[in-house]
Structure 1
Amino acid sequence: MKFPTYPSVVRKEILLEMQVSELFLLSLTSKNARKIVSTRKFKSTGTCFDFSNNSGISKLFFEEWSQEIEVVRWAFRKPPVSEEIVSAEILNITGIDSPCRITINPDSGIPIIWCDSDLKKVFPSFIHRYFCDLFNVPTDVQISMDLNHLHKLPNTDFVKNVRITGLETNAHLVNSFFDTVSVSYCAILDSWIHGDVSLDSSLFKVENICLYGSEYFTIEHLLRFEGKHAFLSQSHLTVQDIIRFIHHWIDGRGFKNLETLMIFTSAEDNFSDRIPEEIELKPWDLVKRPYGFYVRSAMRDFLGFSPFMQDCSKAQDVERKEDGLLATVLLGDNTFIFNVWRDTDPKAVVRNEILLEMQVSELFLLSLTSKKARKIVSTRKFKSTGTCFDFSDNSGISELSFEEWREDIEVVRWAFRKPPVSEEIVSTEILNVDGIDSSCRITINPYSGIPTIWCSSRLKKVFPSFIHRYFCDLFNVPTDVQISMNLNHLHSLPDVKFVKNVKLAGFETNAKLVDSFLNTVTVSNCAMLNTEIRGDLSLDSSLLKIDNICLYNSKCFTVEHLLRFEGRHVFLSRSHLTVQEIVRFIQHWIDGKGLQSLETLVLFSQVEDNFSERIPEEIELKPWDPAKRPSGFYMRSAMRDFLGLSPLMYDCSKAEDVERKEDGLLATVLLGDNTFIFNVWRDTDPKAPFQGGNEWIRGRIR
């Protein structure tokens, strides 16, 4: 399919009008369409599988804050004859080209993909990874399923959240599911459970659990709960059971992580009258705790609890003997709520809620206002894979971005000149940069809300390192230096000798600048060159010593460069290497003349050579021997993060191998008309830890 060549503004407006399911379907039609669709951005909290449908049709939902948007459905059979096939696509699933038919539900407009039953265990992971890569959304696996359809569960060992649906299910299925799949965050069980759930079930290790029909959940289960938040509806726990639980907590015999317990019972016990007769409860002491308790559990999101803060000013407390930790007891006729005070500073509770609502750029700006503000802001924690400088802007404005898994969040911009007269100065700060007090003006971009710091030009070489160090110290994030830059702006480069990853951007640059940059700055992990390089790269360039290199326009990269490569992974797009040069590379590797660290070479050539026919004529290739290596080769390179390579595992069961003479090391050759992939087997154990359905694992391994 050729996407119409609308002006970019018009095309963007068209994309904004399309539903997520329509965008997803469009992306399947061609690489060009996928590239265009991927420019559409969403603020997503994740995705969710739904395996609860009795018809055998599964679904993938996209979560945009509180709204769930259906994206696609699939089933492992032929489509009904009554449904019109709108498309027949060949999808590359774990390295295998698989024909699939697509229909459109006439009521909802949602596409349905009809696949072969052989794909049952791998297709859900494939479609999830494809969607997350397409829109750059969080890759956490979330599942809603009826355990009576447990056979639908894809190859996955870890999920973030699970919701067990269906009218009823059996306890042994619950035990089997939670012992097979590790749930890291939240488990909601909507289903009536018949039988006895094991006292050792991993369900009781989940951080947040919600059981709607919890009559099977006994006091023995409760006393073994190791998580933080539990919600029990239609419970059969009695007053005596709850009193036993309270004593257990007071005596410090468990519940080291407990924060919230909510019980709504169907038993005929009057909790509000009888529990105070058995347990000594103390009235609220405002010196010891705030009046309002914030529910921090995932339950407030999944169950829509309101308010988030419970008024505990009239409630009473118990105190744990070993450490004086307080818990508040809220009672109704058949309601028992137990809130543990991990944070008893009244101001801190409110302050933390405010911090949670602020953007990273807002927190950064707030931290500059005073030492006290910086100390408060530093309490906010993030799960980060690092930070990245961007020196590619032609306007002379540089920026620092913060990486939170797959999402890059812009933090701050800076330039070494006076701010434009059209921009309002919101603050003038004295920043101590390398021991020198420097006056800087700050403006706020009216569209993005990102602060821009305007500094003196004498700070050019030291300010980026200062702002990077300040940010990493503030939020305690990895200090690896990562850079995206246009080498034509090499003067913007700060005083830095080592970087972890570098991305060279811009339309074109000079080979001498590339050599100069890489001979000056040591790159420890990955170098991506997105720019066309004019001239001849040095055969001694430090580029050839980097672990992972990617050249999008690699016509400057000759076979002599390839034979001198000392790293592990190399990706060459638009290459001018010929069949004879690739044959020379393979023979070089077989003879053990170099490339001792090589693991992966991926090459897409622009020359008119038919690799798949001509290379086997020149090199003796051996068919796959299952006794010597596995069928699947996992991409372990950082390139899989930076390039979004899919799949992470190549199916090499039909590919052929070569063997290195000196040590018998195997390498697999995968060939297309103008594609050459060379995978070296450092680990040939068929049961190696990367085997199995782990393709969905979080993307970045930087």
Structure 2
Amino acid sequence: MPINLLKLPRLVGLIVVTELEEYQEVFLLSLCSLRTKFLVKKARIKLPNVSYQFRKCRGHNEFMIGFELHPTNFQYGLYKKVWYPVTSLLHVPKLVLNQISALKFGTGYEADTTIYLWYKEDGSFLHRIKYANDPMGIQKALQNHINSIFHYCGTNKLYLSMKCKGTLPNITNVKDIVIEDETVEPEFLTEVLTSYPNHQSLSIKSRIVGELPKESPVFQVQDIANFVGRNMWLRRALLTEQDIIQFLRKWISNEAYHSLETLSIMRNSGKTINEALIRQTIEFEEYDPSEPEKRPDYYDVVTPIRPIVQRHSLRNEKWLELKRITDGKRAFVQFFHIVFHFFVHKDSLDALNDDDVIWEF
């Protein structure tokens, strides 16, 4: 038998809200009326983080909101990303007249919408809100609404697709940006970095089609010779042994890369890195199996943007060691076929810095 939530004693109503199993349920409840929105806010349900996905769905732009968790499987040394949906907006040319309902987001923004719900095989449900309004207004209002009802004031992660036409999402406080298309054009990268100038990490899992202009914002941080961030992961990169030697020399002398913590580069060619050539110039300390305690057991590459993070076992001959001249800082180096790893020793190997900067190409 249905129960009127608003007729329950306030404390009981708050308990009911906090017992809802889906964040989608909490969100939809907040749209029912001002009183239910107030009840949701009083329940003080919080999101651990907020991610936005801007993608193509059935020929239309879809704007999804949710959060991510990364449960750890130390047996395999992996962190797997799990997405938890909160809501989704689908921009369509027009709505079916007899299915329209007016919804209020944020602090008074009102839009004609149609809400669709469906159940998955596991019994959980999903919903999508269709709208025909100007995307810029409703996106901003929705962000304000989410921040308000879930008491969220943190930074945001944004997944983008070049397949979506029109303007980029109108949201603020974007820290992490991920682009996952098969290919991406330089003009799109410029637009993204210009639209979200305060971002701290960028992951481009796409092949860049065309040449990046010299004035591109990407070059402000992408070039390893000028990199000043904490973490970099490059795929299909032009990398020579002389590049590696120059990089290692600058780190050892403390001439550059003062904030660097992790660096992984995969060559764009299938040619194995010539470790012997590098070792002719750079002096490494090899692993001593009689004194394994001189090294940590492992190194976890934990960054805020990569969905899968690996644990590397350091107590073996595959890893070489370097020391910085000025302060004795240690780093661990590995050459594995076409891959070059460089990990700087930290006081807490599994610590995650909120201000990590990652550039992944």
In structure 1, give the amino acid aligned to 2:126: I
Counterpart of 2:156 in structure 1 is 481
CA separation in 2, counterparts of 1:520 and 1:357? 36
Cα gap change, 1:665 to 1:372, in 2 (>3 Å): same
Cα gap change, 1:538 to 1:616, in 2 (>3 Å): farther
CA separation in 1, counterparts of 2:211 and 2:294? 39
- Aligned mate of 1:522, from 197, 200, 211: 197
- Aligned mate of 1:510, from 175, 185, 210: 185
- Aligned mate of 1:590, from 252, 261, 265: 252
Q: Please give the secondary structure, in 1, of the residue aligned with 2:239.
A: coil
Q: What are the Cα deviations for residues 370-389 of structure 1, in whole angstroms up to 9, with x where unaligned?
A: 11111222344546321111
- 1:429 and 2:102 matched: yes
- 1:450 and 2:107 matched: no
Counterpart of 2:138 in structure 1 is 463
CA RMSD of aligned residues (A): 3.7
Counterpart of 2:12 in structure 1 is 349
CA separation in 2, counterparts of 1:404 and 1:424? 39
- Aligned mate of 1:363, from 26, 30, 37: 26
CA contact (8 A) 1:469 1:479 kept: no
CA separation in 2, counterparts of 1:662 and 1:678? 18
Q: What are the Cα deviations for residues 211-264 of structure 1, in whole angstroms up to 9, with x where unaligned?
A: xxxxxxxxxxxxxxxxxxxxxxxxxxxxxxxxxxxxxxxxxxxxxxxxxxxxxx
Cα gap change, 1:424 to 1:652, in 2 (>3 Å): farther
Q: Please give the secondary structure, in 2, of the residue aligned with 1:453.
A: strand
CA separation in 1, counterparts of 2:338 and 2:126? 44
CA contact (8 A) 1:668 1:678 kept: yes
In structure 2, give the amino acid aligned to 1:494: P
Percent pairwise identity = 18
CA contact (8 A) 1:486 1:506 kept: yes
Q: What are the Cα deviations for residues 23-49 of structure 1, in whole angstroms up to 9, with x where unaligned?
A: xxxxxxxxxxxxxxxxxxxxxxxxxxx
Counterpart of 2:322 in structure 1 is 658
Cα gap change, 1:580 to 1:371, in 2 (>3 Å): same
Cα gap change, 1:537 to 1:680, in 2 (>3 Å): farther
Shift of the alpha carbon at 1:504? 0.9
TM-score scaled by structure 1? 0.42
Shift of the alpha carbon at 1:674? 1.7
Counterpart of 1:605 in structure 2 is 267
CA contact (8 A) 2:284 2:321 kept: yes
CA separation in 2, counterparts of 1:351 and 1:567? 44
- Aligned mate of 2:300, from 613, 617, 635: 635
Cα gap change, 1:619 to 1:354, in 2 (>3 Å): closer
Shift of the alpha carbon at 1:570? 0.6
Shift of the alpha carbon at 1:441? 1.4
CA contact (8 A) 1:511 1:534 kept: yes
Shift of the alpha carbon at 1:525? 3.5
CA contact (8 A) 1:429 1:441 kept: yes
CA separation in 2, counterparts of 1:663 and 1:540? 36
- Aligned mate of 1:563, from 225, 230, 237: 225
Cα gap change, 1:543 to 1:680, in 2 (>3 Å): farther
CA contact (8 A) 1:442 1:451 kept: no
CA separation in 2, counterparts of 1:357 and 1:457? 30
Q: Please give the secondary structure, in 2, of the residue aligned with 1:645.
A: coil
- Aligned mate of 1:673, from 324, 334, 337: 337
Shift of the alpha carbon at 1:567? 0.6
Q: Which runs of 4+ in 1 moved over 6 A?
A: 625-629
- 1:402 and 2:67 matched: yes
In structure 2, give the amino acid aligned to 1:364: F
CA contact (8 A) 1:660 1:666 kept: yes
- 1:374 and 2:37 matched: yes
CA separation in 1, counterparts of 2:165 and 2:276? 44
Q: Please give the secondary structure, in 2, of the residue aligned with 1:476.
A: coil
Mapping for residues 42-53 of structure 1, pairs under 5 Å:
none
Q: What are the Cα deviations for residues 131-180 of structure 1, in whole angstroms up to 9, with x where unaligned?
A: xxxxxxxxxxxxxxxxxxxxxxxxxxxxxxxxxxxxxxxxxxxxxxxxxx
In structure 1, give the amino acid aligned to 2:31: L
Q: What are the Cα deviations for residues 498-550 of structure 1, in whole angstroms up to 9, with x where unaligned?
A: 4111111212111232133213313443221122112233566544667xxxx
Cα gap change, 1:631 to 1:416, in 2 (>3 Å): closer
In structure 1, give the amino acid aligned to 2:177: V
Cα gap change, 1:480 to 1:462, in 2 (>3 Å): farther
Mapping for residues 610-625 of structure 1, pairs under 5 Å:
610-623=273-286
Q: What are the Cα deviations for residues 386-420 of structure 1, in whole angstroms up to 9, with x where unaligned?
A: 11111122521211113356532112221333556
CA contact (8 A) 1:386 1:402 kept: yes
Shift of the alpha carbon at 1:430? 4.3
In structure 1, give the amino acid aligned to 2:296: S
Structure 1: segments with no counterpart, 5+ residues: 1-344, 547-556
CA separation in 2, counterparts of 1:496 and 1:350? 32
CA contact (8 A) 2:112 2:133 kept: no
Cα gap change, 1:520 to 1:628, in 2 (>3 Å): farther
Greater CA radius of gyration, 1 or 2?
Answer: 1
Mapping for residues 114-133 of structure 1, pairs under 5 Å:
none
TM-score scaled by structure 2? 0.76
Counterpart of 1:577 in structure 2 is 239
In structure 2, give the amino acid aligned to 1:443: I
